[in-house]
């Protein structure tokens, strides 16, 4: 793409949530949770429940599942002497499950490749812990698709704190007006609002069981085809800002 064509794009930096935005991970996360629960001789939880817990990191999701099945508070799980061992066992199960029942959403791979070829900087901002983020990206051949990957334990804080957005803006010298956040949840909308950048959401991800439209993102896109450089270049500049 020529320099003139790059200038026609409304964004120089696009940040993406991972689970429910780039990749449908709910089925295999549920499998790993239930592998862990069965090992503890606890009843499994259904996939729909697991997807409602996605958003605050895999560790927190496991805590919620254990609290649900043990009939105790999440704090009681966090403070239980066996939690560290359970978390380790979950990591083993999740490592075995990564890539088995997850899938890229439509047009993700080709749109990411085209954006990068156009010179747009791409970053992931997820609350999933780094070890699991790396496994999921590798399972789908996306481990080299991004200029920056910020997981839930990369920085001292995680979403909805805007530090990850500011980190990427400083690293790549991109202004807020040239930055876009793409996600699927109220957490992503809150992160973008705190950072002062526009936010677009997909309608098919994980938002605690609620329509993401209720969170009032700047735009709801049907799929990643709307993020292809050809689609972005066709937008007027006054249609992409909050």
Other Cβ atoms closer than 10 A to 222: 11
CA angle 20, 202, 171 (to 5 degrees): 80
N-terminal to C-terminal alpha carbon distance within the chain: 27
CA distance 158 to 26: 20
Phi then psi for residue 12, to 5 deg, are -105, -15
179, containing H or E segment: strand 179-183
Q: To which residue do tokens 């790549």 refer? A: 172
Phi then psi for residue 173, to 5 deg, are 55, 55
HSE value, Cβ hemisphere, 13 Å, CA-based, for 83: 18
CA distance 169 to 120: 12
CA distance 152 to 37: 24
Tell me which residue of 206, 205, 168 sits closest to 14, measured CA to CA: 168
| Cross-strand pairs, 148 | 123
Strands 103-104, 121-125: parallel, antiparallel or unpaired by DSSP?
unpaired
Catalytic (active-site) positions: 17
Token pair of 68 as six digits: 């649900």
């Amino acid at each position: 793409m020529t320099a003139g064509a790059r200038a026609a794009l409304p964004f120089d930096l696009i940040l993406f949530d991972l689970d429910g935005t780039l990749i449908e991970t709910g089925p295999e996360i549920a499998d790993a949770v239930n592998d862990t629960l069965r090992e503890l001789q606890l009843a499994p939880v259904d996939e729909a429940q697991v997807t409602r817990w996605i958003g605050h990191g895999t560790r927190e999701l496991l805590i919620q599942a254990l609290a649900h099945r043990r009939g105790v508070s999440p704090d009681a799980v966090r403070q239980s002497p066996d939690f560290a061992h359970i978390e380790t066992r979950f990591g083993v199960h999740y490592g075995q499950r990564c890539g088995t029942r997850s899938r890229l959403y439509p047009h993700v791979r080709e749109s990411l490749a085209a954006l990068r070829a156009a010179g747009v900087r791409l970053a992931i901002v997820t609350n999933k812990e780094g070890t699991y983020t790396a496994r999921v990206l590798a399972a789908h051949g996306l481990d080299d698709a991004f200029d920056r990957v910020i997981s839930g334990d990369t920085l001292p804080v995680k979403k909805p704190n805007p530090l990850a957005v500011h980190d990427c803006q400083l690293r790549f010298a991109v202004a807020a007006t040239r930055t876009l956040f793409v996600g699927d949840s109220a957490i992503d909308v809150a992160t973008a609002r705190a950072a002062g950048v526009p936010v677009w959401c997909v309608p098919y991800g994980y938002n605690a069981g609620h329509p993401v439209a209720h969170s009032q993102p700047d735009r709801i896109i049907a799929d990643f085809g709307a993020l292809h450089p050809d689609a972005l270049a066709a937008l007027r500049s006054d249609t992409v800002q909050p």
